[in-house]
């Protein structure tokens, strides 16, 4: 089996994905790297460009994952910060975000995730979405698995806890109808990509 690497500067993201891939029967390697992000509010493009950059460094199959956070009624800028979560410093200044939103009644928001796998030939992209509301205070203990500080203020639909307040089991089984880019990728990688590699290897062997 080929080595598959997850390229990210966020160790919490790696741990979360690693647990899922191991349950699915394969392991991933971790390569810590903060890649340049194009200055554009387009998660699909950003994720693909980062995968291309990472491949130029490692020269082997890899994947990257990017998230956007959209606040429906952010004052004077609906949908903010979108793909600019990191560059806007929204996720690193949660207290400031809550202060900005303190008089906003509609606190609907959502995460939009894009995972891009690149093998040097083709880009494959997978999507996930989780809708919810913004809490009025920071809630939850510090956890290594937190993909973002926004976990401490994001309450998924049909739930009364923030992501940070939930146990692993509660997060996995929460009733918010969320979808997972990671789960979609793992399913595809096992069922289609790896089987395709085996078929190509068999054809190459039989032609010798």
CA torsion, points 16, 133, 84, 32, in degrees to nearest 10?
-10
User: Between the CA of residue 13 and those of 67, 104, 172, what are the distances in Å?
Assistant: 11, 30, 15
Cis peptide before 81 (omega within 30 of 0): yes
| Residue 160 appears among annotated catalytic residues | no
Detail the DSSP E strand segments found in 135-207. Answer: 154-156
Per the residue annotation, which of 66, 113, 119, 168 is the catalytic one? 66
Residues sharing a CB contact under 8 Å with residue 133, sequence separation 6 or more, in sequence order? 107, 108, 109, 154, 155, 157
Structure tokens at 164: 């940070």
Structure tokens at 62: 């890899």
Task: Judge whether 183 and 20 are in contact, CB under 8 Å.
Answer: yes
State phi, psi for 36 to the nearest 5 degrees: -70, 140
Sequence-separated contacts (24+) of 201-207 with Cβ below 8 Å: none
Q: List active site positions.
A: 66
């Amino acid at each position: 089996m080929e080595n598959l690497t997850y390229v990210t500067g966020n160790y919490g993201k790696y741990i979360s994905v690693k647990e899922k891939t191991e349950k699915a029967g394969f392991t991933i390697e971790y390569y810590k790297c903060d890649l340049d992000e194009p200055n554009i509010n387009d998660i699909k493009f950003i994720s693909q460009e980062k995968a291309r950059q990472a491949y130029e460094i490692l020269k082997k199959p890899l994947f990257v994952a990017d998230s956007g956070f959209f606040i429906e009624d952010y004052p004077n800028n609906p949908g903010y910060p979108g793909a600019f979560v990191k560059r806007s410093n929204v996720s690193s200044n949660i207290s400031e975000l809550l202060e900005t939103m303190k008089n906003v009644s509609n606190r609907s928001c959502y995460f939009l995730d894009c995972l891009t796998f690149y093998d040097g030939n083709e880009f494959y992209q997978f999507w996930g979405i989780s809708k919810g509301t913004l809490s009025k205070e920071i809630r939850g203990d510090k956890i290594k698995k937190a993909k973002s500080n926004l976990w401490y203020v994001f309450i998924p639909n049909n739930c009364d806890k923030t992501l940070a307040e939930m146990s692993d089991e509660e997060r996995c089984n929460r009733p918010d109808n969320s979808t997972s880019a990671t789960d979609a990728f793992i399913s595809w990688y096992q069922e289609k990509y790896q089987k395709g590699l085996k078929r190509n290897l068999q054809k190459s062997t039989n032609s010798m």
